[in-house]
Amino acid sequence: MTRRRIIYDGKAKTLYEGPEQGTLIQYFKDDTTAFNKEKHEILDGKGVLNNRISETIMLGLEAISIPTHFIKRLNMREQLVREVEIIPLEVVVRNIVAGSLAKRLGMSEGDRLPRAIVEYYYKDDGLGDPMVSEDHIAALGWAAPHEMDDIVSMSIRINDFLSGLFLAIGIRLVDFKLEFGRYYQNDTMRVILADEISPDNCRLWDARTGNKLDKDRFREGLGGVTEAYHEVAQRLGIFPGGQKGEES
């Protein structure tokens, strides 16, 4: 077997060089980390589930004309994606108070926000991904104002789409994190959605019981993490009648 060149080895995914110029292979690992890597576990089958969940969501977004890096799923753990220059921001969209928002502003977890809130964090593990404003982003040149316009409008559309998608399967979309990248094609550049959308970077609560169906189960040591991800996959229509992590 020939060894593929690793382009980037992240916490939950590895990016390998792709078969053609301008493509990469995104490999979903079972590694799960929280609190800036202080907590780390291998959760059997998590990567398989996130690969399928993210594929389903990216295809849905493509259907409403959100440009994404997703090209196709290759196998249980890998996707072919477009190579982008990652914009060093984590874009968080919130519908319901939870996590760092609850802590920072002393608000009660579970309160519905009057409207969706978009926040930006500078992607730097060494600094613990500090929150930044659009002014920091513009002044420090992380993204141009016209790129931020695209990022905000895509983030709001993605939130509306995902809120409806999850509501239809009895899940409340509390908040989620997005990453965007610059995609160069011939002489043009456009900002497209990158990374993944999965229970690793969304908060998903069962609409009836309030049960957490996302990475907070891992962060809070609640157990049943892959079972919860599997529940999300199953409700999305992935693995109809199949076994956990079964390829199809």
The stretches of 20-120 forming alpha helices (DSSP H) are 46-63, 99-105
Give yes or no for residue 79 binding ligand UDP (CB under 6 A): no
Q: Which residues are paired to 26 by β-bridges?
A: 15, 79
Could you say whether residue 46 binds ligand UDP (CB under 6 A)? no
Q: Which stretch binds ligand UDP (CB under 6 A): 20-28, 76-84, 139-147, 169-177?
A: 169-177
Contact status: 33 vs ligand UDP (CB under 6 A)? no
203 scored as a contact of ligand UDP (CB under 6 A): yes
Nearest distance in Å: CB 64, ligand UDP: 21
Measured from the CB atom, is 102 or 238 closer to ligand UDP?
102
Q: Give the DSSP letter string of 180-196.
A: EEEEEETTEEEEEE-S-
Site string for ligand UDP, 80-109 (x = CB under 6 A): ----------x-x-----xxxx--------
Assigned token pair, 123? 């992607």
Asked if residue 202 binds ligand UDP (CB under 6 A), the reply is yes
Nearer to ligand UDP by C-beta: 70 or 176?
176
Tell the smallest beta-carbon distance from residue 188 to ligand UDP (Å): 30
| Binding region for ligand UDP (CB under 6 A) out of 72-80, 133-141, 158-166, 195-203 | 195-203
Question: Does 175 participate in binding ligand UDP (rule CB under 6 A)?
Answer: yes
First vs last C-alpha separation in the chain: 24
Q: Is the dihedral of CA 147, 156, 90, 231 positive or negative?
A: negative
Rounded alpha-carbon distances, angstroms, from residue 60 to 36, 66, 92, 212, 235: 30, 9, 20, 23, 15
Q: Give 18 or 216: the residue with its C-beta nearer to ligand UDP.
A: 216
Sequence-distant (6+) residues with CB within 8 A of 132 are 89, 120, 121, 122
- 68: DSSP letter: B
Q: Which is nearer to ligand UDP, 193 or 202 (CB)?
A: 202
Q: Distance between CA 164 and CA 40 in Å, rounded?
A: 32
- Contacting residue, 73, 82, 215, 230, with ligand UDP by CB under 6 A: 215
Alpha carbon of residue 182 to chain centroid? 17
- Residue 179 makes contact with ligand UDP by CB under 6 A: no
**Residues 177, 181: Cα–Cα separation, whole Å:** 14
CB of 105 to ligand UDP, least distance (A): 11
Does 151 bind ligand UDP (CB under 6 A)? Our answer is no
Determine the Cα–Cα distance for residues 242 and 221; give it in Å rounded to an integer: 27
Rule CB under 6 A: is residue 129 a binding residue for ligand UDP? yes
Cα separations (Å) of 215 from 8, 80, 199, 211? Answer: 23, 25, 6, 12
List contacts with ligand UDP (CB under 6 A): 90, 92, 98-101, 129, 175-177, 201-203, 215
